[in-house]
């Protein structure tokens, strides 16, 4: 139950971040510090004209619409609290996991710098000038990646891309720099270039996880390009999206998010039979997902409506 509630919380925070254009860190911090007391109980916050306990009302409205919080009218004012006590632990656990994942990602960028510096210290007396030049390039590359990553964390993807390009000028096959650059391009809405960079990852020696992340990003990029495209190109782009998502599912067949992405792509192609099949697969992974249940019911209703129309014609 806690895992399902944590997934619900993650989806809600993600929606609020996108719809209200607010940093995810700020939303998570507000939920834990303003909606939960130090004693681990629900807390009520008062809604002002523009914000609610320091959080913009735009975010608060999304959280309410997603049923994470609910409002009460009292003392001529509007107050918000979590919809249920059961949300307290999943929120804390989810935030803890989210913070830890970001600390680990930052370490993955910083540790190569430390390692390179240690190598420099140990070989100065033993190796040639040319070798020292190579090490300096490695240090420079790691520093550029780290600087770009810090900018991306602050949503400055244009600035981040500049530093990733600097790193790739030193080593054009660095999968870490390629992956981060592809992600920056994706967030900038430059899906075509993001696909090109992700394909470079697939063409070099890489870890399976690098390959999986690249295929997911390519699939999502093609999906977004299809949404923008003219009718004549949409079918091809949605099918390309499905192609890469299925490559991911061949490695990770229980990836709920990708199963739902494939279902949505088939919906756009009006292939409701396959859409329904993939929604069933997603529900097999997470049977209590209300959003997927709703989308499945909608797809089934669409099929019935089509069948009825054909029957009456």
Instruction: With H, G, I as helix, E, B as strand and everything else as coil, classify residue 79.
Output: strand
In a domain, 233, yes or no: no
Residue 106 neighbours by CB distance under 10 Å: 14
What domain count does the chain have?
1
In a domain, 306, yes or no: no
In a domain, 11, yes or no: yes
Cα of 149 vs its chain's centroid, Å: 15
What's residue 119's pLDDT? 63
In a domain, 50, yes or no: yes
In a domain, 109, yes or no: no
d(CA 307, CA 313): 10
Query: pLDDT tens digits for the chain (313 residues)?
Result: 677 888 889 999 999 999 999 999 999 999 999 999 988 899 999 999 999 999 999 999 999 999 999 999 887 789 999 999 999 999 999 999 988 888 877 766 666 665 666 665 665 555 555 655 667 878 888 888 889 889 988 899 999 999 989 999 988 888 888 988 998 999 999 999 999 999 998 887 656 777 888 999 999 999 999 988 877 789 999 999 999 999 999 999 999 999 999 999 999 999 999 999 999 999 999 999 999 999 999 989 888 888 887 765 5
In a domain, 302, yes or no: no
Which residues, other chains included, contact 194 with Cβ-Cβ below 8 Å and sequence gap of 6+?
182, 183, 185, 186, 217, 218, 221
Instruction: Find out whether 259 and 241 touch, Cβ atoms under 8 Å.
Output: no
In a domain, 263, yes or no: no
What's residue 213's pLDDT? 87
What's residue 122's pLDDT? 60
Token code pair at residue 281: 């697969």
Backbone CA torsion sign across 188, 192, 195, 200: negative
**How does pLDDT run across 172-198, given as a tens digit for each residue?**
888 888 988 998 999 999 999 999 999
In a domain, 251, yes or no: no
Which residues constitute the domain of residue 44? Answer: 2-90
What's residue 302's pLDDT? 86
Instruction: Find out whether 27 and 55 touch, Cβ atoms under 8 Å.
Output: yes
Phi then psi dihedrals of residue 70, to 5 deg: -135, 160
CATH number at residue 17: 1.10.10
Instruction: With H, G, I as helix, E, B as strand and everything else as coil, classify residue 110.
Output: helix
Partners of 95 in the β-ladder: none
Identify the CA nearest to 21 among candidates 64, 54, 62, 81: 62
- According to DSSP, residue 205 is labeled S
């Amino acid at each position: 139950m806690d895992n399902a509630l944590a997934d619900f919380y993650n989806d809600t925070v993600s929606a609020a971040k996108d719809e209200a254009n607010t940093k995810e860190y700020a939303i998570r911090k507000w939920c834990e510090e303003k909606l939960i007391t130090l004693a681990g109980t629900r807390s009520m916050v008062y809604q002002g004209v523009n914000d609610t306990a320091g959080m913009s009302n735009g975010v608060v409205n999304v959280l309410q619409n997603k049923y994470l919080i609910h409002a009460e009218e009292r003392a001529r004012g509007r107050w918000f609290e979590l919809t249920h006590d059961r949300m307290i632990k999943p929120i804390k656990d989810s935030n803890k996991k989210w913070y830890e994942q970001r600390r680990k990602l930052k370490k993955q960028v910083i540790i190569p710098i430390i390692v390179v510096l240690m190598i420099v210290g140990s070989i100065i007396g033993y190796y040639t000038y040319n070798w020292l030049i190579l090490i300096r390039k490695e240090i420079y590359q790691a520093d550029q990646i780290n600087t770009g990553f810090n900018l991306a964390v602050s949503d400055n993807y244009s600035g981040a891309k500049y530093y990733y390009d600097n790193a790739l000028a030193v080593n054009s096959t660095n999968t870490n720099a390629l992956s981060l650059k592809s992600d920056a391009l994706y967030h900038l809405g430059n899906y075509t270039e993001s696909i090109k960079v992700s394909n470079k990852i697939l063409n070099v020696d890489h870890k399976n996880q690098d390959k999986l992340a690249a295929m997911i990003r390519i699939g999502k990029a093609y999906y977004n390009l299809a949404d923008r495209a003219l009718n004549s190109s949409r079918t091809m782009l949605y099918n390309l999206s499905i192609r890469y998502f299925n490559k991911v599912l061949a490695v990770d067949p229980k990836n709920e998010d990708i199963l739902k992405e494939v279902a949505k792509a088939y919906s756009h192609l009006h292939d409701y039979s396959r859409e329904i099949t993939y929604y069933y697969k997603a529900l097999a992974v997470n049977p209590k997902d209300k959003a997927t249940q709703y989308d499945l019911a909608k797809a089934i209703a669409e099929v019935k409506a089509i069948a009825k129309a054909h029957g009456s014609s």
